[in-house]
Amino acid sequence: MSTNTLTTNPRLIRMIGFIIAIGFAGITLWNTYKLIQRIEDDEKQQMELWGLAQQKLASNKDLNNPIDPLMFQILTTENSIPMIVVDDQNNLLFSNNINQRKLTQDSLGYIQKLKEEFGSEHKPIEITYKDSLYQKMYYGKSNLIYQLRYYPFAFLLIVVFIGGLVYAYYKTNQQAVENKLWTGMAKETAHQLGTPISSLLGWLTILEEDIEPKMLNQIKSDVTRLETISARFSKIGSLPNRNETKISAIVQDITEYMQIRMPKDIKLELDLIGKEKEVSINPELMGWVLENLIKNSIDAIRGKGKISIELSWDKAALISIHDSGIGIPKKLQRTVFEAGVTTKKRGWGIGLTLAKRIVAQYHGGKLRLVNSSDLGTSFEIQLPIA
């Protein structure tokens, strides 16, 4: 795998990062589990030794016979394991690391509860004397084990939190760089278009005397369109002025302009549903979005077909654009709004990216791919009502 592949494929980077994170989490959980197992084994051995020492002490009835120092040390050494020792009549003889307040309030009930709880965790250790049951020791898990069980989750939570902060910083920084790039490119494009547009306007003035009026009007319309395109690019990167506008008028202007220039075998339909409500938009930029989507539909049809545009108003203004074209390949549908993604051989893959930025960032709306198959493609624009 080349470095270029990694740097140009953010999804691959995210996937690798996710796999590494899962692997790291798995290793952490496994190591913690093994550590808990070792501690539990050590505690079990410790309690078995304590039971053995207690049994040795019980068998030593001769007060003149000194107690084995090792047994004495085992019995008197402080340990953190909760336990209770009862006799064969279930009377409490000894307790360690037990809630004394609960023991005082409800001795029998609390002892029974501890026996059940500890008994489910470990098999009770029986202490016998002369082959008969003398005492029974019930023991549980130390606080250390309970703390270790929660440790990996707390640790992973911290890792996720730090990872989230790093990702948010990376995403914000990346977006800032992209914004600068888009702004610079757009303003440079507007600057480059300015000179030939001015020149064309000058030539139009000269041609007005000798050219056929109908042809001249078409040339003027195209030059005006170039001016509009230049104005659109100049607005990228700055906060555009928005006015309360009837979106239907903009859609109708775009469809009328496109109908003259699109193949005759493609039918363009416009349908208005419900009472129109004004939206706060920049007409030039929103016209750009609509024009881009319609052009994409024309390219997708590749011959005879139909483009349907539907406007409706409810809590938001909805513009649905559906074509009967070849559709967008499934592998591109999730990334269709990312820069550089295109189905055209000579496409730049920035049209839908710019369109989504205009709708979302400048108008607080949404642009989404509703569905796409070999029967056609549907896009939807959602704009807040003014």
pLDDT tens profile 275-297: 888 999 988 889 889 988 998 99
Q: How does residue 321 score in pLDDT terms, banded at 50, 70 and 90?
A: very high
Q: How does residue 183 score in pLDDT terms, banded at 50, 70 and 90?
A: low
Domain range summary for the chain, segments of one domain joined by +: 3-141, 169-238, 241-384
Range with top average pLDDT, 92-96, 176-180, 360-364 = 360-364
Q: Does residue 68 contact residue 49 with C-beta atoms inside 8 Å?
A: no
31 three-class SS: helix
Mean pLDDT of all residues belonging to the chain:
79
pLDDT of residue 170: 76
Calculate the CA 222 to chain-centre distance.
44
Model confidence pLDDT, tens digit, residues 74-128: 665 657 788 888 887 778 888 887 877 777 767 778 888 888 888 888 888 887 7
Which residues, other chains included, contact 251 with Cβ-Cβ below 8 Å and sequence gap of 6+?
A: 270, 290, 309, 311, 319
99 three-class SS: coil
Cα distances (Å, whole numbers) of residue 323 to 115, 294, 316, 327, 377: 73, 9, 23, 9, 6
Position 378 pLDDT exceeds 80:
yes
Per the structure block, which two tokens stand in for 283? 């007409």
pLDDT of residue 382: 95
**Structure pTM?**
0.51
Determine the residue type at 301. Answer: I
Per the structure block, which two tokens stand in for 216? 């001249």
Position 376 pLDDT exceeds 80:
yes
Which residues, other chains included, contact 208 with Cβ-Cβ below 8 Å and sequence gap of 6+?
A: 216
pLDDT of residue 385: 87
**241-384: which CATH topology?**
Heat Shock Protein 90 (3.30.565)
Q: Does residue 379 contact residue 370 with C-beta atoms inside 8 Å?
A: yes
Torsion angle (degrees, nearest 10) of CA 183, 188, 190, 195: 170
* Range scoring the smallest mean pLDDT among 61-65, 119-123, 172-176, 369-373: 61-65
Model confidence pLDDT, tens digit, residues 194-241: 656 666 777 667 666 666 676 667 677 777 777 777 776 666 666 678
* Range scoring the smallest mean pLDDT among 139-143, 225-229, 307-311, 370-374: 225-229
Per the structure block, which two tokens stand in for 292? 């881009």
